[in-house]
Structure 1
């Protein structure tokens, strides 16, 4: 083994060890349990303002995490939430989407599809980590870190009322709307 190969091998092992450590930390913190206080959120929205869960006290919050703006599954999910936005509002609920995309990306995504709900930029994935949805993913053998599509229904008192881990985009908004209506 050459010196270069030895250094590369050592760096690769260290990188894997760090990733495994982060993954184990993420796994141990896990997804917030139903009935627990929802972890805090303080992120920039498409209007450039910081948004936090406390801004919606007394309302239900549909906090949905998605991997990336303007991709097929994420677009389906966003469009379905938009199609039902009036029904969510009638049920005293707000829809809030979170991804690691920038505010600029969110603005383009919202404008392209006419999305009239809040999109938050979690570029450092701090909130995704708090909710246990920043995970190691595997796409055709390539491992990387990203958001696992998931939704959290938070009641008017700031407690987690329901969790949908590993969401399938199509039809999800209708299922969430029924759960929001059941909160009353």
Structure 2
């Protein structure tokens, strides 16, 4: 997975439409061949009809999927220029409680940060180097985060705590990284809905939890078609400043 101007695997709307057109053309050609064969051999008509129904169903599901992916990445606003959505649980709702094992082997709970503004960063994990570069960039911009009212930053991913600990050590990072191997917390925050690996891993989601445990801001950047896995901290703060609630 590479990092190119903060985005990977970007596919423009024009490319998506071209792909959809190609898919429809292939299905139309297959349908035409099937009809021709049915006319030549009437005994095959029941089989051909079944094939046509299946092809039609697959085509419809494909188009629905493409449409939903496009809607998923409608920009919510802000000033970063990076497309994102605010998933659920959303801004203004209570943040789901959790206790997870950190890279140091300690148990860390959301309740530990009561009275503070904690920025949860859900990320893809060991296989995503841009995600670790993101943590480093956040650490290098700690003063800017503090100025924006962010007291703590905590990252959550799905790899085992021991492997996370080794990665944190190798990268010389100080941010707590928590292990969510069964995705219980990731699913509670629906952070595994925006990654390149389907729902098996998290995407690239930031969730600001206020002192009272309420979600004050949320931005899910990792969804199709852009699959953003890194953006400069200043861009994160641009969206946070524009979209957060008091």
The answer to whether 1:114 aligns with 2:169 is no
Give the gaps of 5 or more residues in structure 2. Answer: 1-86, 223-227
* Cα-to-partner distance string for 1:125-182 (whole Å, 9 max, x where unaligned): 100000012238666xxx66221221101111110001111243433432444537x7
- How far does residue 50 in structure 1 lie from its aligned partner after superposition? 1.2
* Cα-to-partner distance string for 1:62-82 (whole Å, 9 max, x where unaligned): 001001125232122111112
Give the CA RMSD over aligned residues. 2.7
- Structure 2 distance, partners of 1:46, 1:146, is 18
Question: Which of the pair has more CA radius of gyration?
Answer: 2
Residue 148 of structure 1: which of 182, 187, 203 is its match? 203
Residue 59 of structure 1: which of 116, 119, 138 is its match? 116
Alpha carbons 1:70, 1:109 under 8 Å: kept: no
TM-score norm. by structure 1 comes to 0.71
Give the gaps of 5 or more residues in structure 1. Answer: 1-29
TM-score norm. by structure 2 comes to 0.54
Aligned pair count?
Answer: 152
- How far does residue 89 in structure 1 lie from its aligned partner after superposition? 4.9
Residue 31 of structure 1: which of 88, 94, 109 is its match? 88
Higher strand share: 1
Residues 135-174 of structure 1 aligned to structure 2 (within 5 Å) = 135=193, 145-167=200-222, 168-174=228-234
